[in-house]
Amino acid sequence: MMAKPSIDEARDCASPLPPMAEAVRSRLALLRELQASLSGSRRALLALDLGGIERGTREQIELGGRLAEDMAAGNRRPGRDLELQRAEDEVRQALRLQAALLARARAKLRVLGNMLAGPSANYAAPPARSFAPPRAWPGEARREF
């Protein structure tokens, strides 16, 4: 007859969380940190706070590296946790908004730069680069028919 394990032995053998749940928890924490950083950057962008924008960018680079390390450690898809999927969707939405705000800020800065360049500056977007050959080569006279 086998003796039943004591409560202390059972407690020592049991881990507090299965490994998959711990992976979900760490990924969720990283995503929440990233979302908070993106929210701070959004406020800094709207207030044109250059220090806040730079601080947020540094945080997001660090968090992106940590998230990449987490994924490289074999935790690519830790379960199909609904809360984790929701957090990933919220971060994607925050990233889309951040990209739109950055594009808008870039356009404003281009206009300001052109205004500072003087009255002869062109305020339009730079022309698209064309790889088509020129109509007349330099030094050639244009023939008219």
The answer to whether the CB of 95 falls within 8 A of the CB of 63 is no
pTM exceeds 0.85: no
pLDDT (0 to 100) of residue 25: 86
If you write DSSP's letter for every residue of 68-101 in order, what string do you get? HHHHHTT-SS----HHHHHHHHHHHHHHHHHHHH
Band of the pLDDT at 145, cuts 50, 70, 90? Answer: very low
The answer to whether the CB of 41 falls within 8 A of the CB of 98 is yes
pLDDT tens digits, 11-62: 444 445 455 577 788 889 999 999 999 999 999 999 989 899 999 999 999 9
Please write down the long-range contacts of 18-21, taking CB distance under 8 Å and 24 or more positions apart: 20/78, 20/79, 21/79
118: DSSP letter: -
> How much is the CA Rg of the chain, to the nearest whole Å?
28
Write down the residue that tokens 């990209």 correspond to: 99
Does pLDDT of 124 surpass 60? yes
